[in-house]
Amino acid sequence: MSDRNSKRRRLFVLALVLVLIVTGGVATSFARGRGETGPTRLNMGGGWVTGVYFPLAGAMSRIVHTEMEGISLTVESSGASVVNSNLIRSGDLDLAIVQNDVASYAYAGRNAFDGNRVENMRGLFSLYPEPVQLVARADAGISSPSDLRGKRVAVGPLGSGAEVNALQVLEAAGLSESDLAAAERLDAGEAADYLRDGRIDAAFFTVAIGAAVISDLAVSQNIRIVPITGSYADRLKAMEDFYASVTIPANTYTNVPEAQTVAVVSIVVGQASLSDSLVYDFITAVFDNINVIHSAHASGRMVTLDTALDGMPIPLHPGAERFFSEKGMR
């Protein structure tokens, strides 16, 4: 082959590679809902399969399927708030459900996000209050957070908001992980199994009231929700504004007495780069079909337009801004 021919060939290959990169890039950006036209496939980070983010995200996916032509929404289960926020930063998720405290840390680049700001995260709407539920075996001798000293404790799944809250509750009790006999990072279902088998004494779940992970456990095991109240609640509220006191009514879980604890709020967030009309249409579809959310889980009934901006800690996406100003809420 002559020199000229091989040079030409190299140029051709280079051009082909460039075309593939460019068209591939365009196809990806359309496919992920960031282009102006074309088919749109969105994905949403849910949470634990045994939690409440997952069924609610599933309900949103069904709404998108029936109400938004040419758009699909796939739901991914995950450790939840912290990992979802990181996947928003990396561009791997279009939408996600996260706790409002974690969203605020992510946007500001503090706590679990020290030096790793999730600047491209925007708020869409708030869902419901999410209590920090410290579940203990009834016979474990744990009636306040201080009693966790020397116990085996699941401190929330890796990448969860529950873990962030667990560490703050320990701090409010003057404890650190080294004061525990064991600090386990198990996924939510595993933590329930470990409690049932007596391999741990207590587990932290920041999750909506009535989550399957706790209700299923209560059927086969005597458990208590350890109150996080009085000076513990005061210290947590002084540490972070997001905490508010809530009551978990008696018999929410089989034979479990009423307990007071602290709660944060779960919210839906999305990529800043999603188009305004897509976000506007998505929020419109959700609130026009709120019955689908209400029937997906008992706690889904707490999702209402009236409370849809409660506890929103980060700037709204412009599509959300438009939706809520039209409703007279901004």
CB of 327 vs ligand GLU, minimal distance in Å: 26
CB of 215 vs ligand GLU, minimal distance in Å: 13
Q: Tell me whether residue 46 or residue 319 sits nearer to ligand GLU (CB atom).
A: 46
For the chain, give the longest Cα–Cα distance.
86
Q: CA quadruple 132, 136, 299, 43: dihedral positive or negative?
A: positive
Q: Tell me whether residue 204 or residue 232 sits nearer to ligand GLU (CB atom).
A: 204
Q: Tell me whether residue 155 or residue 226 sits nearer to ligand GLU (CB atom).
A: 155
**Composition of the chain by helix, strand, coil, percent to 5:** 45, 20, 35
- Would you tell me how many other CB atoms lie within 10 Å of the CB of residue 114? 10
CB of 84 vs ligand GLU, minimal distance in Å: 7
Task: List helix spans (H) across the chain.
Answer: 3-31, 53-67, 81-89, 100-108, 161-172, 188-196, 212-220, 230-239, 276-288, 290-296, 318-326
- Helix (H, G, I), strand (E, B), or coil: what is residue 3? helix
Cα dihedral 213/180/256/235 (nearest 10):
-100
Contact 132, 101 (CB under 8 A): no
Q: Tell me whether residue 80 or residue 135 sits nearer to ligand GLU (CB atom).
A: 80
CB of 47 vs ligand GLU, minimal distance in Å: 2
Note the residues at the interface with ligand GLU (CB under 6 A).
47-48, 51-54, 80-81, 99, 130, 160-162, 206-207
Q: Tell me whether residue 118 or residue 278 sits nearer to ligand GLU (CB atom).
A: 118
Tokens standing for 277? 């009309």
Q: Tell me whether residue 117 or residue 185 sits nearer to ligand GLU (CB atom).
A: 185
Q: Tell me whether residue 225 or residue 278 sits nearer to ligand GLU (CB atom).
A: 225
Question: What's the distance, CA 233 to chain centroid?
Answer: 22
CB of 11 vs ligand GLU, minimal distance in Å: 51
Contact 182, 152 (CB under 8 A): yes
Residues 6+ away with beta carbon under 8 Å from 104? 242, 313, 314
Q: Tell me whether residue 161 or residue 300 sits nearer to ligand GLU (CB atom).
A: 161
DSSP one-letter code for 316: B
CB of 205 vs ligand GLU, minimal distance in Å: 7
Q: At what angle do helices 161-172 and 230-239 cross, to 10 degrees?
A: 120
- Using CB positions, name the residue nearest to ligand GLU: 47
CB of 49 vs ligand GLU, minimal distance in Å: 8
CB of 211 vs ligand GLU, minimal distance in Å: 6
Q: Tell me whether residue 81 or residue 86 sits nearer to ligand GLU (CB atom).
A: 81
In angstroms, the CA 217 to CA 253 distance is: 9
CB of 68 vs ligand GLU, minimal distance in Å: 24
Question: What's the distance, CA 2 to chain centroid?
Answer: 61
